[in-house]
């Protein structure tokens, strides 16, 4: 390549935004162009076509050429067992450790048990503490565990790049209880920050995201939390500029790549705005990103690898300083060595082979990403101001107002998933009833240390995306004999394939096995095949044209054969056709737009599962 930059667009005639709209409108034929628009949970309209910014303004969170720290999640009970995993992680490509203790709300029933310096020595035996960044996430015990770790490092004459995850607000939101008044717990955490060289309070977005918060809600809560900690640190005697450096941020990236990138970039803008309001120069936050817990499915767990890869890509592009990838079996139990290896390698490949870290903020200049970054930042700022007007995040937790707003967004998302407007691969779409469950570690869960609760709020319970369909699959699995449904395919293969395949995916998303076939020579043959199948339900599948000729006869024959749970795939063209099908024996209609989860729950009821 010559020294002169290549002009890749020079061979093409210039095209304006309007030119692209005209071309898209022509391709859409009778479909309105606005149908291509979508709206986020925050009400932000996503346009189908954007114009790029010819003079991009990178948002500097991580310097170009600097790889993020590959954090290995360490949550295995038993410090000797955990040490073996730690060494395997570090030898396998991890460059940092995310220590998750049993007391952390992010331990998910497991976690480390650290109560003395001997525990730390056993856990970190063979680890060069001065070379490995460490996060200590131990809930109400984070400061205590971090002090033990610093003591061991001091004995060895070493310093540690340490992030202490003290987050009283996140703790009370996740558990619904805390061992002191919220303000007193924050003040104690700020006082304890004097003992730690690095970040010592963490604005942690995981609790809000897991509970179903929108992007702007997560950002607003992060910002309000950070401001509460900033005030507490100043009250504890820290210079305001120093106090700002004592606060770290943990945010979440999920399966929506561009939305995650925009959210993480917006966080940097928002924190900069807070610092400017305090009379400080804006500096990039110390940003740790974890892949989303709520997107992790229990069914067809290998699809979680797809989701975590997209989320990790988003975190890397958006400038995260460190990233923790939840192993793909996290929703099933305690991940084994293989699942942890996949989590490490996901990051290693994106750094070493894809070189994502080579460019600072590569999304800068994208019309979509820049536009959504600015929009979500403005929306989050307005929500943040509303929280502050109420008295801050602690007051909003006490009143329940923020919980209600997050619950409203979560409910709307749940409804969208139930209707498959927001598909979950491997769960609501393309389910695999023949899957083999992935292996997890079989270790006893530890008993976390607890403190007596002094204050209670309404807890933000996790809302997994796949929850409704997981419940249906559990019902079907528990039935003893798996419920089945007979595919009553009419006409030629070309006539029924589309709706037959769609129906198979529809019912198997609820654990109801679809009995497939290549169609039938006659209605009599269809009836005989249904009787021989042993199924208690059937779904008629074909084209509208074939329905006009055969659907009534097929429904009548199936009803006469004893089928009293009979569906037709497709939405009848009018009320008269619907009535005719129902009169012939059709008991339900399945098509795009129905509440899939509710329909499947009713089907399981009818089938006795």
Say what the pLDDT of residue 3 is.
44
Model confidence at 392: pLDDT above 90 = yes
Residue 57: exposure state from Cβ atoms within 10 A (0-12, 13-18, ≥19): exposed
Integer Cα distance of 576 and 393 in angstroms: 56
Residue 188 pLDDT level (bands cut at 50, 70, 90)? very high
Tell me yes or no: is domain 471-606 CATH 3.40.50.280: yes
Integer Cα distance of 189 and 201 in angstroms: 7
Spell out the residues 6+ positions from residue 588 whose beta carbon is closer than 8 angstroms to its own.
Answer: 566, 567, 568, 599, 602, 603
Say what the pLDDT of residue 14 is.
81
Model confidence at 2: pLDDT above 50 = no
Residues linked to residue 590 through DSSP beta bridges, in sequence order = 569
Spell out the residues 6+ positions from residue 367 whose beta carbon is closer than 8 angstroms to its own.
Answer: 50, 51, 52, 53
Model confidence at 186: pLDDT above 90 = yes
Integer Cα distance of 263 and 260 in angstroms: 5
Residue 55 pLDDT level (bands cut at 50, 70, 90)? confident
Residue by residue, what is the 3-state secondary structure of 460-507?
A: CCCCCCCHHHHHHHHHHHCCCCCCEEEEEECCCHHHHHHHHHHHHHHH
Model confidence at 291: pLDDT above 60 = yes
Helix (H/G/I), strand (E/B), else coil: 14:
coil
Say what the pLDDT of residue 60 is.
75
Structure tokens at 66: 């600097």
**CA-closest candidate to residue 219, choices 209, 230, 231:** 209
C-beta atoms surrounding 382 within 10 Å: 11
Model confidence at 191: pLDDT above 50 = yes
Residue by residue, what is the 3-state secondary structure of 547-578?
A: HHHHHHHHHHHHHHCCCCEEEEECCCCCHHHH
Say what the pLDDT of residue 1 is.
40
Cα 110 to its chain centre, rounded Å, is 20
| Per-chain mean pLDDT for the chain | 95
Integer Cα distance of 500 and 353 in angstroms: 41
Model confidence at 485: pLDDT above 70 = yes
Say what the pTM is: 0.93
Q: Where are the domains of the chain?
A: 169-423, 471-606
Percent of the chain with pLDDT over 70: 98
Which one is the CATH code of 169-423: 3.90.190.20, 3.30.470.10, 1.10.260.40, 3.20.20.240? 3.20.20.240
Spell out the residues 6+ positions from residue 275 whose beta carbon is closer than 8 angstroms to its own.
Answer: 244, 281, 282, 283
Say what the pLDDT of residue 378 is.
98
Model confidence at 578: pLDDT above 60 = yes
What would the pLDDT profile of 20-41 be if each residue is shown by its tens digit? Answer: 999 999 998 888 999 999 999 9
What would the pLDDT profile of 296-308 be if each residue is shown by its tens digit? Answer: 999 999 999 999 9
Residue 340 pLDDT level (bands cut at 50, 70, 90)? very high
**CA-closest candidate to residue 173, choices 205, 138, 216:** 205
The residue-averaged pLDDT of 377-391 equals: 98
- Going by their DSSP bridges, the two strands 440-441 and 334-335 should be labelled as antiparallel
Say what the pLDDT of residue 53 is.
85
**CA-closest candidate to residue 338, choices 296, 306, 290, 302:** 302
The residue-averaged pLDDT of 384-388 equals: 98
CB 41 within 8 A of CB 215: yes
Say what the pLDDT of residue 308 is.
98
Model confidence at 271: pLDDT above 80 = yes
């Amino acid at each position: 390549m010559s020294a002169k930059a290549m002009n890749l667009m020079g061979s093409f005639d210039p095209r304006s935004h309007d030119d692209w709209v005209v071309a898209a409108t022509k391709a859409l034929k009778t479909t309105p162009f606005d149908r291509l628009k979508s709206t986020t949970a925050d009400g932000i309209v996503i346009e189908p076509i954007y114009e790029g910014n010819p003079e991009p303004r990178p948002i500097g969170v991580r310097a170009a050429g600097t790889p993020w720290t590959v954090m290995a999640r360490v949550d295995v009970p038993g410090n000797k067992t955990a040490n073996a995993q730690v060494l395997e992680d570090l030898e396998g490509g991890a460059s940092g450790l995310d220590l998750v203790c049993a007391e952390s709300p992010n331990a998910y029933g497991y976690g480390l048990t650290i109560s003395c310096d001997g525990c730390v020595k056993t856990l970190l035996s063979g680890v060069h503490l001065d070379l490995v960044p460490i996060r200590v996430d131990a809930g109400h015990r984070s400061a205590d565990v971090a002090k033990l770790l610093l003591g061991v490092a001091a004995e060895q004459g070493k310093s540690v790049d340490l992030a202490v995850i003290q987050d009283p607000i996140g703790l009370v939101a996740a558990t619904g209880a805390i061992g002191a008044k919220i303000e007193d717990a924050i003040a104690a955490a700020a006082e304890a920050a004097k003992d730690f060289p690095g970040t010592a309070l963490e604005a942690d977005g995981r609790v809000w995201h897991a509970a179903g918060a929108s992007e702007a809600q997560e950002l607003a809560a992060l910002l309000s939390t950070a401001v509460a900690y900033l005030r507490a640190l100043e009250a504890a005697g820290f210079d305001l500029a120093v106090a700002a450096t004592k606060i770290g941020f943990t945010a979440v990236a999920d399966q929506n790549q561009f939305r995650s990138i925009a959210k993480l970039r917006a966080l940097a803008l928002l924190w900069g705005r807070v610092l400017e309001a305090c009379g400080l120069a804006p500096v990039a936050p110390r940003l740790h990103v974890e892949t989303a817990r709520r997107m992790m499915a229990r069914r067809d767990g290998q699809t979680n690898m797809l989701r975590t890869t997209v989320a990790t890509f988003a975190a890397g592009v958006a400038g995260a300083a460190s990233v923790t990838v939840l192993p793909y079996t996290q929703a099933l139990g305690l991940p084994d060595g293989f699942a942890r290896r996949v989590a490490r390698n996901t990051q290693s490949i994106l750094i070493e082979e894809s070189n994502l870290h080579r460019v600072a903020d590569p999304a800068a200049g994208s019309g979509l990403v820049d536009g959504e970054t600015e929009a979500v930042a403005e929306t989050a700022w307005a929500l943040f101001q509303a929280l502050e007007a109420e008295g801050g995040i602690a007051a909003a937790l006490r009143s329940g107002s923020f919980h209600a707003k997050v619950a409203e967004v979560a409910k709307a998302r749940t409804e969208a998933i139930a209707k498959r407007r927001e598909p979950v691969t491997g769960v609501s779409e393309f389910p695999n009833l023949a899957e083999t469950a992935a292996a997890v570690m079989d270790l006893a869960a530890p008993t976390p240390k607890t403190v007596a609760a002094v204050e209670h709020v309404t807890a933000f319970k996790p809302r997994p995306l796949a929850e409704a369909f997981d419940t249906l699959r559990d019902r079907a699995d528990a039935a003893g004999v798996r419920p089945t449904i007979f595919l009553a395919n009419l006409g030629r293969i070309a006539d029924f394939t589309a709706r037959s395949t769609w129906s198979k995916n529809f019912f198997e998303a609820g654990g109801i096995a679809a009995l497939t076939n290549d169609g039938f020579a006659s209605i009599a043959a269809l009836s005989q095949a249904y009787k021989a199948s042993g199924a208690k339900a059937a779904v008629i599948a074909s084209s509208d044209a074939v329905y006009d000729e055969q659907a009534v006869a097929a429904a009548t024959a199936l009803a006469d054969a004893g089928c009293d749970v009979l569906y037709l795939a497709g939405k009848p063209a009018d009320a008269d056709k619907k009535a005719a099908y129902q009169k012939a024996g059709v008991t339900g209609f399945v098509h795009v737009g129905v509440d899939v989860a509710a329909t499947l729950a009713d089907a399981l009821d009818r089938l006795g599962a």
